[in-house]
Structure 1
């Protein structure tokens, strides 16, 4: 797969004698249309005669057919079927030899910068003032494809814009980005099936897609004449206009614009910003106040909201905005048209095999705010009854979550059993879905759809998704023991679950399956890595995720992990030299593993939650490092 194309000189047609000219078939296009096409392609075929150009053009038109993602069942993979595994890194992209100048609308001309371009004296052409040092969107613009209209050659995604750079952004969103952030798409990608159609009537959704795709390309060193920040600002302005319409606005348009902007903010990671929280609050308001009936698009967008609501809460140490889903109420959300007998049954589009784990993670994300409330009550000498209530609630909830994590196992898709030597996890038990006929099916004589056996590619993908879910489980244990129970980093349970989580993270990337949701479990486990073996596992996993996903938050997270290791190692050296100073600080971070008494057993949290002192001393070391580095990462 190529992320960009460069038109190669077509083969020169064999010249025929004048005697054979009468044997040539008449051109199917009108003379005016053919001339227009020739003019538009003149830059690509300099010095060619009309006969030579028409011969090559006819060959192109016979071989190519365009499918509009807005007028088809959104099988854009059939238009430009690519694999995210082959996404080139910036070092693999050759320098650009072409640049598209910006084509400005009248209402944009005044606000856009045109200093890099100047017009020729004839006024007929606009050329770059200077070439970019980095690749630009001219290299990845969708290839000119034949149109079913037969009267002209229409570029792919031309219904979105007449600008090549913007069509390239849609192409990048459809054929690269949308594949990086889902687990399941055997019958189509939900972002293409459900979100892309909203662009027909919603410019904020369109601009949010432009912003997200442009930011992803900018991180990879691909230049665009219109920056991602420009599209982001237009999307924000358009979203504000939609919200002002109140109940008249289409709920899905607002939710889609908001969620795309959340993805954008997570990707670019602009310092210590609370913009993600603001967007999530806006989405929750729309979900709660809009009474429109649900449909697949709203269900999918609300699932995306639930994912980021929990991840943002775990990242920021704040309570989630939404209520915890009841056990069993979250069912896997498949792509539209997914067959009942799919080998990816039980796999959610956005949550993978962790659908049934998500209610537990939601409750887990509530514990740190509750612990902070208890600590504040102790510090401010609140009434003993209030402290007792908060303590009881925290301890009982934490113990219930620990029990739920211990009992939880992912339910595997039908007809799939992991390889015996694949999962080296003593806490994992194989639970395969059983398919039985229901009484109704037996009564009317119909048979249930029997899931097909997974292919080799399916098995690799399922293994990757399974390891991802198990990494979430073990990192949830690490978070519970380290952040809530405040166990020392060297505690047996902390190190056991950190090692198992890192093992599953490496297995996830080794199978080259979906990695879009892997950052939180990878980060949580990596921060507690002590041994050389575990740190090498973290290094391998981070390197693979960075290469596949190409997003700023992954790079920032890896920088924080390495700084955590440096400070933790230095703290251990100081503790060894000064064993009586367990609460010393280095670089503003806690040296002592807990900042409190460490003679605790599992389930006895009292010394941790009532510990006096500065909040920074008892907080996670990585939170202090993040604060010192001036970043606030959402690990989604």
Structure 2
């Protein structure tokens, strides 16, 4: 990091990646020495499946034009893929590396489905990113995808010919080159955001690079907006999501423009979504996200207040305390009155959401999971607010009441057979304060389901911290996390 907070993305040669000072500036890491299981690629299809995926140009047309069936005035078109007119280059050929093909297959067919809440009308992490890989065989986006896939498989015990950190470093090198040479900022931004997902979800060791990645993404986003060439709306949401989640995880101030200042519109929801539209990344919690942003700001101010108190600065600490209490009161009221927006053709009944016609369809299960996911966030946010801003003890009814509600909704998400992505933050916050046998059982069962269905490293780390926190009621999860030597981002 430079003195002004900018990350140092300097161009380095491939041979110098692990040894030069520039490699450390880039946040590059040394490959781990562990030998993983030799049970290779058990989750992949056969060779014919791979040939179909990477050699059939019809798939490209499907991926880049999947939403043609939508009505012209459909509100879902706000998430339509901007690459509908692209065709693969006539000389494009899949990589000679079978490993690369298998990792791309894993990203396309597994990972891209695990990091969204909805795939209607498209999955943006599949339909917007895969065409870029078709266009370039050596882009930082390609290596970011390979790093993400490789790390996810390494966490399941797979032995790979090339490690995830090798791909990670090659992506960083490509990003550095792109930024130095004025390459397409959108493609560079996508690569960095993919590395943010890598850092948050699948990196085994704690990384200092998350904040610098978010800073680089924010600068690129401003550059793209200034040029009026921004096309990928989902990048706004992905960056905004992790900006807030990083803030809630670390109590660092959010980096992006606050919600309500939409002159630059850098990543946060604007007003109510159109009726019937479901955000693939935020689901039914889209209108809750500005409140979570405010909670992140409040937590960062609490850290500033603690520093002022420790320094004996009574004037500053008093001013901060008054501002914090005022903000907490308005935020508490907003969180308590917030409700998810019910999509068209759905109704609320007996604390659940159902189709008006009573049918149980796959779409209904998805909506139901998103509904309970949003409520889990709401009650976890209230829990965090009562604990941090009001100093409520663990056994206070405001803490335990919100613990039970948050965990109940987390359980409803997993039992709905719908998507379970982005559930870790409310689950962890509630589990860390759980004291009753019933609540701890719900937390344990939900963690087990997430580990089985998602396979992300941060879920494993979070589960370990919770178990250690439960074993010693005098230690907070923050103390346990520090003792274990890593920082979790609850994406």
The 5-angstrom pairing of residues 150-229 of structure 1 reads 159-199=93-133, 200-201=135-136, 203-229=139-165
Tell me which of 566, 572, 580 is aligned to 2:471: 566
1:390 alignment counterpart: 320
* Distance in 2 between residues matched to 1:363 and 1:317, nearest whole Å: 12
User: Is residue 386 of structure 2 the alignment partner of residue 531 of structure 1?
Assistant: no
2:175 alignment counterpart: 239
- What is the Cα deviation at residue 273 of structure 1? 2.4
Change (3 A) 1:378 1:506: same
The 5-angstrom pairing of residues 161-560 of structure 1 reads 161-199=95-133, 200-201=135-136, 203-245=139-181, 248-290=182-224, 291-297=226-232, 299-326=233-260, 330-331=269-270, 345-382=276-313, 384=315, 386-420=316-350, 422=352, 456-560=361-465
- What is the Cα deviation at residue 186 of structure 1? 2.2
State the TM-score, normalizing by the size of structure 1.
0.62
Deviations 1:380-419 (A, max 9, x none): 33253x3332222111111111011011000110111244
Change (3 A) 1:624 1:507: same
- What is the Cα deviation at residue 282 of structure 1? 0.8
Contact between 1:357 and 1:408, CA under 8 Å: does it hold in 2? yes
Change (3 A) 1:351 1:476: same
* Distance in 1 between residues matched to 2:16 and 2:317, nearest whole Å: 61
Alignment partner of 1:137: what SS?
coil
* Distance in 1 between residues matched to 2:323 and 2:49, nearest whole Å: 63
Alignment partner of 1:144: what SS?
helix
Deviations 1:357-395 (A, max 9, x none): 0000001011122122223323333253x3332222111
* Distance in 1 between residues matched to 2:58 and 2:249, nearest whole Å: 42
Deviations 1:143-178 (A, max 9, x none): 326989xxx999999834122111111111111000
Structure with the bigger RCO (C-alpha within 8 Å, sep 6+) is: 2
* Distance in 1 between residues matched to 2:453 and 2:464, nearest whole Å: 18
Q: Which runs of 5+ in 1 are unaligned?
A: 1-106, 113-130, 335-339, 424-429, 433-450, 572-588, 590-620
- What is the Cα deviation at residue 473 of structure 1? 0.1
Contact between 2:251 and 2:303, CA under 8 Å: does it hold in 1? no
Change (3 A) 1:627 1:351: same
Alignment partner of 2:418: what SS?
coil
Change (3 A) 1:465 1:327: farther
1:86 alignment counterpart: none
* Distance in 2 between residues matched to 1:256 and 1:333, nearest whole Å: 26
Change (3 A) 1:565 1:147: closer
- What is the Cα deviation at residue 270 of structure 1? 3.8
Deviations 1:302-341 (A, max 9, x none): 210100000001111111111221299715999xxxxx99
Contact between 1:214 and 1:224, CA under 8 Å: does it hold in 2? yes
Change (3 A) 1:381 1:185: same
* Distance in 2 between residues matched to 1:210 and 1:292, nearest whole Å: 30
Contact between 1:207 and 1:232, CA under 8 Å: does it hold in 2? yes
* Distance in 1 between residues matched to 2:50 and 2:213, nearest whole Å: 41
Change (3 A) 1:421 1:144: same
* Distance in 2 between residues matched to 1:488 and 1:146, nearest whole Å: 55
Change (3 A) 1:139 1:381: closer
Alignment partner of 2:472: what SS?
helix
Contact between 1:212 and 1:260, CA under 8 Å: does it hold in 2? yes
Deviations 1:439-490 (A, max 9, x none): xxxxxxxxxxxx9997522111111110000000000011101122221000
Contact between 2:120 and 2:280, CA under 8 Å: does it hold in 1? no
Deviations 1:477-521 (A, max 9, x none): 111011222210000010001100000000001012111100000
Contact between 1:144 and 1:153, CA under 8 Å: does it hold in 2? no
C-alpha root-mean-square deviation of aligned residues, in Å?
3.2
* Distance in 1 between residues matched to 2:170 and 2:199, nearest whole Å: 15
Change (3 A) 1:252 1:564: same
Alignment partner of 2:129: what SS?
helix
2:75 alignment counterpart: none
- What is the Cα deviation at residue 523 of structure 1? 0.2
Deviations 1:167-199 (A, max 9, x none): 111111111000000111122211122122222
* Distance in 2 between residues matched to 1:146 and 1:271, nearest whole Å: 32
* Distance in 1 between residues matched to 2:455 and 2:56, nearest whole Å: 33
* Distance in 1 between residues matched to 2:253 and 2:17, nearest whole Å: 40
Change (3 A) 1:487 1:383: closer
1:34 alignment counterpart: none
State the TM-score, normalizing by the size of structure 2.
0.79
Change (3 A) 1:567 1:279: same
Task: State the 4+ residue runs in structure 1 displaced beyond 6 angstroms.
Answer: 107-112, 152-158, 451-454
Count of aligned pairs: 422
Relative to structure 2, which stretch is displaced further, 299-308 or 366-375?
366-375
1:136 alignment counterpart: 40
- What is the Cα deviation at residue 348 of structure 1? 1.0
* Distance in 1 between residues matched to 2:152 and 2:329, nearest whole Å: 41
